[in-house]
Structure 1
């Protein structure tokens, strides 16, 4: 079982449009409403892969009730933590050329009592977990050290932790030594405090995160592929993609693929790349099923292309 923790979940509304023109009325070609938040997406991808998952998340108001209803319809067990504030709603606009515009709301404040209930719910639900995936931004009221506290408590209970967050929350959590962290290129650059122009730059940055406390680093480099750096070695993976429809949740799908494949080594990296590549070819934040995966399109190698320039350099 994979337990996910999403401190700042959302109700995600996705629209496909031909082109985004500022100041004009735009008619959507299609629309979707999905439960959102990085950890929620990981649970959705894990469930789509046929694994059991439990999603721990604070929920409030009508949007929170709809998030729980949508997750239940997808066969995902929900461990809700009731909060006074309303769960946030996000909007994603996907243009026909693959450009994505997102509007993410900040989310409600979480009181001290609600925070403690959230931690206690994680403790209760983690007893049968193979992995705990803690993902996303922190809502108002939660200190940057909150994820570090979760990591310490999880390790005390014998669970492994995968962490996908950024900024100060990531740096604080590294001190608690999470088993895996999953930054994208921009988050990786911010963590080490310098721009990344090549795959080699990203590799060095991932190695630095390991010296700062990460057991392993699964770094998503967007269209350029993914890096896995851990104690036993480093690997680079990428995949052929016919056409990008939406990258919403693609990184979360990658993390799910990595965890269901064991969470270590080149085989897990190949699974992560396959899941991410499948996700970007689906609309909105639809998570891929095994039928959507194309393992033959994936390449994983220990010969990392150090001099390859990143399509979108991170700073």
Structure 2
């Protein structure tokens, strides 16, 4: 079984308008409310790929009820930990004529010690043959080692884990050998306080993540495609042609496609191919990509060994 963990899920209120004029009244041309959170996006893509998953995380308050109602439309299996404070709302503004996306993200609820304990106790059923995908930001009062604590617990029980976060929280988990990590090229540069001059330098620093313990490194590069770096090889996926409508969830979709396919096939190259297709297909969609869109984009992607 694949488990996804969204510590700080959200209702994503996505607004589309021609131009965003700050300090003035703006009117939208379209808006949609979506169940948001990186792990939730992963579970939704896995569902499109006909792979089962269980979504875990914290939800609470009136917004938490609305979040679960929105999520119920997608028929996902869930096992959320209920908390006292409200699930957050994130606002995503897409100014079409300006070709700009603006995000305003809520902080999320405070998690009590008893709520945290309930969540950790629920992980006891995860064991050998399972994969846990941890993705996204933490609630404001959870320590940066929260993901590390989860990784230690589920690894002790024989499960694999994937982590999609940044900074020290990512680096701390590397000695536990995550199946895959997925920084974008800007996040990778920030991890090592460097500036990349070319693709080869990106590969060099992605390999440092492997040297510290990761089994695979995916690096997304927006319009320049993506890289898969393994211990002794590197591969590139080209960026397919299409109009980027909403990049929210593209990275999560790539993680889902790679992790779900790898669990099924143990083939990193095919997993990369499907992961890249899932990421781009979501970027070309208003919401998380459908299987039909993923299959369409898959045909445009070529994997090249570098």
Normalised-by-shorter TM-score class: over 0.9
Matching residue of 1:19: 19
**266, 271, 275: which one aligns with 2:269:** 266
- Alignment partners' CA distance in 2, 1:213 and 1:106: 31
Across the two proteins, how many residue pairs are aligned to each other? 300
Matching residue of 2:29: 29
TM-score by length of structure 1 reads: 0.90
- Alignment partners' CA distance in 1, 2:226 and 2:80: 33
- Alignment partners' CA distance in 1, 2:196 and 2:85: 39
The list of structure 1 runs, each at least 4 consecutive aligned residues, that deviate by more than 4 angstroms after superposition, is: none
Matching residue of 1:289: 290
Contact 1:144 1:172 in 2 (8 A): no
Matching residue of 2:118: 117
- Alignment partners' CA distance in 1, 2:142 and 2:94: 31
1:239/1:301 Cα in 2 relative to 1: closer, same or farther (>3 Å)?
same
Aligned pairs (5 A) from 1:37-76: 37-76=37-76
Contact 2:129 2:158 in 1 (8 A): no
- Alignment partners' CA distance in 2, 1:52 and 1:270: 20
Matching residue of 1:309: none
- Alignment partners' CA distance in 2, 1:175 and 1:260: 23
Matching residue of 1:90: 90
- Alignment partners' CA distance in 2, 1:123 and 1:39: 19
- Post-superposition Cα deviations, 1:177-199, rounded to whole Å, max 9, x if no partner, equal 22211111222112122122322
Contact 2:207 2:231 in 1 (8 A): no
Corresponding position: 1:254 with 2:254: yes
What is the aligned-residue RMSD (CA, Å)? 1.6
Higher normalized strand content (fraction of residues): 1
Q: What is the SS of the residue equivalent to 1:257?
A: helix
- Alignment partners' CA distance in 2, 1:27 and 1:122: 45
Contact 1:2 1:129 in 2 (8 A): no
Aligned pairs (5 A) from 1:5-16: 5-16=5-16
- Alignment partners' CA distance in 2, 1:40 and 1:222: 22
Matching residue of 1:223: 223
Q: What is the SS of the residue equivalent to 2:110?
A: coil
**292, 296, 303: which one aligns with 1:300:** 303
Matching residue of 1:77: 77
- Alignment partners' CA distance in 1, 2:30 and 2:123: 36
- Alignment partners' CA distance in 1, 2:123 and 2:35: 19
- Alignment partners' CA distance in 2, 1:174 and 1:229: 15
- Alignment partners' CA distance in 2, 1:129 and 1:14: 37
**Structure 2: which 5+ residue stretches go unaligned?**
none
Matching residue of 2:237: 237
Matching residue of 1:105: 106
- Alignment partners' CA distance in 2, 1:202 and 1:136: 23
Matching residue of 2:188: 188
**Structure 1: which 5+ residue stretches go unaligned?**
304-315
- Post-superposition Cα deviations, 1:226-276, rounded to whole Å, max 9, x if no partner, equal 111123522111232221111011111111111222165211111111111
1:197/1:83 Cα in 2 relative to 1: closer, same or farther (>3 Å)?
farther
- The structure with higher relative contact order (CA 8 Å, sep 6+) is 1
